[in-house]
Amino acid sequence: MVWHHADSSPGQSGGPLIGPDDAGDSYVYAINSGGDDFTTNFAARINDGRFNEFQTWESENQGLFEYETNFGDWDTVGSHWSGHPIRLLNNGSTTAAFYRSTGMGNVYVATKSNPSGAFGAPLNLGGVSRGPVAAVSRAPGLRDIFVTAEDGTVWTKAFNGSSWLPSQTGWSGLGGQLSGSPVAASMNSTNLVVFGRGINRDVQINAWNGGSWSGWASLGGDTSLEVAAVSYQAGKLDLFVAAPNGKIYTKWWNGTAWQPSTTGWTALELPSGINLPPSVANPKMGQPVVAIVPNERIDVFSVEWNSTAAYVKTWTTSTGWQPWRNLTGSLMAPISVAYLAQFKSYLLVGIGPDRRMYQQSWGISTHTSNPSGNWTPVDGAMLDLTATAVGPNQAQAVGRGADNRIRTRFYSNGLWQ
């Protein structure tokens, strides 16, 4: 896996990530996937603030870097290519990988019930999505998914344990007008909440109470990236967004009302002091990724734009918000986190500058436990990556390889299989 400098580029030179482009809100890099069955050059577009989502298109001689692929022990899922990140959902008995295929843009799902087994053949769920799929499970056996259509409207369908509704390829429209992809969360078995970045960069919300949808409303805010949403406790929600000023903002539903107000947000201070590299005078935090230990703690992860170092900020029921901690490393995509309950630890995975997957384990048995900061390379040649726990000491990683094929690895008892 080697980066090669090329003579021409679609933007400024100077590193694997370049930009901004003429629009002022995106960054560009390029890869060349070798191999007998896939040799097309691809350029990838990344929104301002870093690591929102990857858009791919065919390109000739526009590569800042060419990339040699080596997928090591990664298995493929189906035979499709995907132009957007994959979404993983585990609801106890089944792990499901949702993705948008290239070409027609249909949504597919591949599932498996044996954690160490292979994914089955992908099922075409129809629809036309312009970005990643949002997926949530309200209860064991249930799945709800959401997509944004080309016109910005949101569509949904549900799996009731035995079949997809309204049909295998049918979808129900929720209206709305989003400029980003939807994000879904659930506070209990009858509740669903969908969020998204509106056309004015505010956060939009639509909630299902078990019988009907509330309709879209604004929660205020200003974000150029996607919303991160989590329910760490039944009946409660926490939201996080990265703002253009480089800070991450949060708001929360306490069971009866939004805090600090319906449209107000609270800023989380930026990293500073010994946690900030000397070369970074004005830190800018990227897409927030949130992990939880139910009823106990919330951890917000973000890759800082200038240094590409990863950071984490922790909230616990006993300490409140703690200062940002530097996870070190150099990552080219958001961290993904799997909580392994047996060891009470986080398995952190990310993509390094060489496009390999890197991992770091963080024992969180106490509120003051610090991450090691030691990133260990695994293998792969990946564009993006997501991971989720599929057992008390097991995890599944799925992502798009540099050839845009969907690839997966299984983790058990400290080892990647």
Predicted local confidence at residue 10, as pLDDT: 28
Domain spans of the chain?
3-67, 75-416
pLDDT in tens, 11-23: 222 222 222 222 3
Residues β-bridged to residue 394? 391, 412
Q: What is the CA radius of gyration of the chain?
A: 20
Burial 407-417 (b: 16+ CB within 10 A, else e): bbbbbeeeebe
Assigned token pair, 352:
């390094």
Q: What is the mean pLDDT of residues 350-367?
A: 88
pLDDT at residue 285 tops 70: yes
* Contact criterion met (CB below 8 Å) for 399 and 82: no
pLDDT at residue 339 tops 90: yes
H-run or E-run covering 385: strand 382-391
CATH number assigned to the domain covering 75-416: 2.120.10.70
Longest Cα separation, the chain: 58
pLDDT-derived band of residue 153, with 50, 70 and 90 as boundaries? Answer: very high
pLDDT-derived band of residue 274, with 50, 70 and 90 as boundaries? Answer: low
In the Cβ-directed half-sphere of 80, how many Cα atoms lie within 13 Å? Answer: 25
pLDDT at residue 301 tops 50: yes
pLDDT at residue 201 tops 50: yes
Alpha helix stretches (DSSP H) within 13-84: none
Burial of 269 (0-12, 13-18, 19+ CB in 10 A): exposed
* Contact criterion met (CB below 8 Å) for 111 and 158: no
Predicted local confidence at residue 87, as pLDDT: 92
